[in-house]
Amino acid sequence: MNDPAWLILAVALVLIVVVPLFVGKSDRRRIQEQIGSRGGQIISIERSVRSGGRSSRIYDVSYLTPSGESLKASCRTGMGGVYWLSSTPPGFPS
C-alpha cells in the first residue's frame, strides 16, 4: 500500500470525478447570470451532445425573456466566459 502508483491512481480518479462536477456548476451559474442580467429567467440548462472542443462545453438553454416569451438557444462555455452561438441570446437586444 506504500506504492506511489496507488496514490497517483487515487488522485487521478478524484480529478476525473470531482473537476467535471465543479466545471458544470460554474458553467450553469455563468449562463444563469447572463440571462438574469438581461431580465430573463432560466427554464433549463442541458449539456449538449455536440462537442465544444477540447476546453469548452456546449449547452442547450431554455429561458423566458422579460416579455414572457419562451425561447431556446445554444451557448459554448470556456475559461473566458459564455459565448452564444448567435451574438446574444435570442430575444434580447444586442
The full set of domain ranges for the chain reads 4-84
Q: What is the pLDDT of residue 39?
A: 92
Q: What is the pLDDT of residue 10?
A: 84
Residue 78's pLDDT is 84
pLDDT value of position 16: 78
Cα atoms in the Cβ-side hemisphere of radius 13 Å centred on 4: 0
pLDDT beneath 70: ranges in the chain: 1-2, 20-21, 51-54, 87, 93-94
Question: What does the pLDDT read at residue 1?
Answer: 54
Angular region, 39: left φ>0, alpha ψ -120 to 50, beta rest: left
Q: What is the 3-state secondary structure (H, E, C) of 59-84?
A: EEEEEECCCCCEEEEEEEEECCEEEE
